[in-house]
Amino acid sequence: MSSPSVPSNEIPIPQASATSTAGGEGSATGAIDLVRHGRLPLQLLLAINQVRGLFDGHSFWAQGRSRRALVRMLLGSCSVVSAWEGGRLVGIGRATSDGVFRAVLWDVVVAEEHQGRGLGRRIVQALLASPPVAGSERVYLMTTNSSGFYERLGFSGEHGQQLLVLYRQRNQETSG
């Protein structure tokens, strides 16, 4: 099955790092293509139901997000990387950044059947190499149960800092 077409504002990652083949770290069912999206991620906007399905089926923190909220989320991200097996979305990650001092990785999700094969690593590396993130002095992320994965990619815990959260009531726009 061929990979999805890439609109002109979306940049496929160079072939050397874009495709995994069967065996090794690749998918047993076929090649995986990574796509680094521009500021207007048309391919993902057109596949918003697949984005929602990936989050609902393969993450606990991103379940139940509305299509409208997901569109706003994608449009508000400065870098988005997606992974495709043919026309099926099997992984995604995104980042926000000021391009100078701080960047944050968000919502790195890989379909369970593709976990443990290096796909998450490739998504994170592609996000780290994207211009807004690569130019940042520090890159942050939050994780509940994957700290070992991120530590192997060079992240470390910051024991001198605390995570503070302001919880707001969810509204119709973000859920359902």
Q: How far, in Å, CA of 118 to CA of 27, rounded?
A: 10
Catalytic residue among 150, 157, 162, 171: 150
**Each residue of 12-52: pLDDT tens digit?**
553 323 333 333 344 344 799 999 998 889 999 999 999 99
Pairing mode of beta strands 102-110, 138-140: parallel
3-state secondary structure at position 6: coil
Strand-pair partners of 10: none
What's the predicted TM-score (pTM) here? 0.80
**Each residue of 48-80: pLDDT tens digit?**
999 999 999 999 999 999 999 999 999 999 999
Q: Does residue 167 carry a catalytic annotation? A: no
3-state secondary structure at position 123: helix
Looking at residue 175, the DSSP 8-state letter turns out to be B
1 or 90: whose pLDDT is higher?
90
> What pLDDT is attached to residue 15?
31
Confidence band, pLDDT 50/70/90 cuts, at residue 171? low
